[in-house]
């Protein structure tokens, strides 16, 4: 199994996961916050024709994650998997011609998809029914954990014995607190228990989970105003007792090239 980021941040998120099943490649996209043409461009830059996607699995209804999902699905006939609450949070106009492609998933109930077993994990975030995912190829396990306010006991348990983890590092707590462009109410939302993970909480999660198989860690969803790659790397490396250079970062403009799990 391998994965790549099309881009990660407040302007759009998408993660491509691929595994080989016999002679064929199976591909799943996690979220798509990019418009149709941009999503197609970024997929093709990674060597993936959009029509070869087995599915798009969606974490929640915020625009930077779902904004391009239904347009891409309708254009290429791709099934969309999401919770009932997430669907409720998407307007009928947004779903549009992709309505027949929608498949409902239940948090905590795994399902088979192409060559993958997908585990939706309920998370604390300010959305209708948000989930994150563990994607299991049968040999390797990838965790995707972005857009949540804190690492609950349930989240920690779900992330045990991963081979790779894409982990939100939205903000540095000091940079966020000192940012004059953000009003206090927005700062409280971002830093609150239903907002986004700061570097310290991300490091705590990483230090707490069972890391006996963990080999690849990617910092994702960094705020361009309230975080820096070197700060995220330093925080996560501290939890792993590793060198900061071992932590990869998925950025907004270029995403992250393919990584083998």
In the chain, what's the furthest Cα-to-Cα distance?
54
Mean pLDDT for 33-61 is 98
**Pair type for strands 14-21 and 24-30:** antiparallel
CATH number at residue 103: 3.60.15.10
pLDDT band at residue 7 using 50, 70 and 90 as cut-offs: very high
Number of domains making up the chain:
1
pLDDT per residue as tens digits for the range 142-180: 999 999 999 999 999 999 899 999 999 999 999 999 999
What is the rounded average pLDDT of the residues 27-32?
98
What is the C-alpha to C-alpha distance for residues 31 and 66, in angstroms, rounded to an integer?
6
Kindly report the three-state secondary structure assignment for every residue of the chain.
Answer: CEEEEEECCCCCCEEEEEEEECCEEEEEEECCCCCHHHHHHHHHHCCCCHHHCCEEECCCCCHHHHCCHHHHHHHHCCCEEEEHHHHHHCCHHHHHHHHHHEEEECCCCCEEECCEEEEEEECCCCCCCCEEEEEECCCCEEEEECCCCCCCHHHHHHCCCCCEEEEECCECHHHHHCCCCCCHHHHHHHHCCCCCCEHHHHHHHHHHCCCCCCCEEEEECCCCCCCCHHHHHHHHHHHHCCCHHHCEECECCCEEEEEEC
- What values do phi and psi take at 218, rounded to 5? -120, 125
- Cα(first)–Cα(last) distance of the chain, in Å? 6
Instruction: Tell whether the model's pLDDT for residue 22 goes beyond 90.
Output: no
Burial of 184 (0-12, 13-18, 19+ CB in 10 A): exposed
Does the pLDDT at position 23 exceed 90?
Answer: no
Q: pTM of the entire structure? A: 0.97
Structural domain range at position 88: 2-260
Q: Is pLDDT at 75 greater than 90 in this prediction?
A: yes
For residue range 195-246, what is the model confidence (pLDDT) as tens digits?
999 999 999 999 999 999 999 999 999 999 999 999 999 999 999 999 999 9
């Amino acid at each position: 199994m391998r994965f790549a980021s099309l881009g990660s941040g407040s302007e759009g998120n998408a993660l491509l996961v691929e595994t080989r099943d016999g002679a064929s490649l199976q591909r799943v996209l996690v979220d798509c916050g990019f418009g149709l043409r941009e999503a197609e461009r970024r997929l093709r830059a990674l060597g993936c024709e959009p029509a070869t996607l087995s599915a798009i699995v969606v974490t929640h209804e915020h625009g930077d994650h779902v904004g391009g999902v239904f347009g891409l699905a309708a254009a290429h006939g791709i099934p969309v998997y999401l919770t009932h609450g997430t669907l409720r949070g998407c307007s009928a106009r947004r779903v549009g011609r992709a309505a027949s492609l929608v498949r409902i998933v239940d948090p905590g109930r795994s399902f088979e998809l192409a060559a993958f077993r997908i585990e939706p994990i309920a998370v604390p975030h300010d959305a209708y029914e948000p989930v994150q995912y563990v994607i299991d190829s049968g040999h390797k396990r990838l965790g995707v954990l972005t857009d949540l306010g804190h690492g609950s006991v349930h989240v920690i348990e779900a992330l045990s014995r991963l081979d790779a983890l894409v982990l939100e590092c939205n903000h540095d707590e000091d940079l966020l607190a000192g940012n004059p462009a953000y009003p206090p109410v927005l700062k409280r939302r971002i830093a609150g228990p239903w907002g986004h993970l700061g570097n310290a909480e991300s490091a705590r999660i990483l230090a707490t989970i069972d890391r006996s198989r963990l080999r690849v860690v990617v910092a994702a969803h960094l705020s361009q105003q309230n975080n820096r790659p070197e700060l995220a790397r330093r925080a996560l490396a501290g939890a792993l007792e590793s060198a900061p250079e071992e932590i990869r970062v998925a950025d907004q403009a270029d995403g992250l090239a393919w990584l083998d799990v």
